[in-house]
Amino acid sequence: MEQSPLGKASPAKAFVFDLDGTLLDTLTDLAASVNHALQLHGLPPRSRAEVRRFLGNGVRNLMLQSVGGRLDEAEFEQALSDFRTHYGQHCMDATQPFPGIMDLLETLHRRQIPMAIVSNKLQSAVTELNRRFFAQYITTAVGESETVRRKPRPDAVLKALEEMGVQPAEAVYVGDSEVDWETARNAGTQLALVLWGFRDEADLRRLPGTDLFATRPADLLQQFVGDRVGE
């Protein structure tokens, strides 16, 4: 059942944010890199709606679904490499924070509440995007790597919380997908799902045990901090 922004969730001592679809609107740049790789291999482009649906489980899964079994293993690995190269060069062409996100982070920073990013995006891209947009607020940013298992496994969330010195039950995980829902459950944190991201609202509202369905960033403050943006 949905709780109101003024529900009974416990105050959070830390926030852990998903990146794509939660903090940043990255869809345009991701779709451009997907279609660049597909074009190089003679495949038809994917629509923004298709790419949006494929997001959430890392870039390999994104490209697997985009290719749709139309390349052999060696060709797929090259297409994945082509995507990675293009996205590394173009990951900030059109990407921007969602409306209200910077005010949210400013307020949390002012309240001295630590924040982290946990993403299935490549570590290099997570580092670069955090540097570009959020470095004044967020120093812990964990992406996909060989040493940390991807979400929905809890490894990255637990690593981030350890760096911030916060126990899982004291934190809230904020995401926009069923992968984030499962990640929070596996990590033992509270959970907020945002409704401005890359999943349809009706699908998210079917996920049980969610502490908040946020329609705007300010809802996160009201629910987990007892504050309003700018106060």
Which domains can be identified in the chain, with CATH numbers? 14-25+95-224 (3.40.50.1000), 27-90 (1.10.150.240)
- Degrees (nearest 5) of the Cα angle 199, 200, 201? 115
Kindly indicate the confidence band of residue 52, based on its pLDDT and cuts at 50, 70 and 90. Answer: very high
Question: How many residues are listed for the chain in this entry?
Answer: 231
Whether the predicted pLDDT of 229 surpasses 70: no
Q: Name the residue with higher pLDDT: 125 or 169.
A: 169
**pLDDT value of position 152:** 95
Kindly indicate the confidence band of residue 226, based on its pLDDT and cuts at 50, 70 and 90. Answer: confident
Kindly indicate the confidence band of residue 230, based on its pLDDT and cuts at 50, 70 and 90. Answer: very low
Report the C-alpha gap between 175 and 75 in whole angstroms.
33
**pLDDT value of position 49:** 95
**What backbone torsions phi and psi does residue 59 show, to the nearest 5 degrees?**
-75, -30
* DSSP designation for 23: T
Alpha helix segments (H runs only) across the chain: 27-40, 48-54, 59-67, 73-90, 101-110, 123-133, 155-164, 178-187, 201-205, 218-224
Quick one: average pLDDT of 21-30? 96
Kindly indicate the confidence band of residue 117, based on its pLDDT and cuts at 50, 70 and 90. Answer: very high
Residues 6 or more apart whose Cβ sits within 8 Å of residue 118: 16, 17, 18, 19, 142, 151, 156, 157, 160, 173, 183
- Degrees (nearest 5) of the Cα angle 62, 91, 76? 35
Quick one: average pLDDT of 180-196? 98
Q: Which residues are annotated as catalytic? A: 18
- Degrees (nearest 5) of the Cα angle 186, 191, 192? 145
Mean pLDDT of the chain: 92
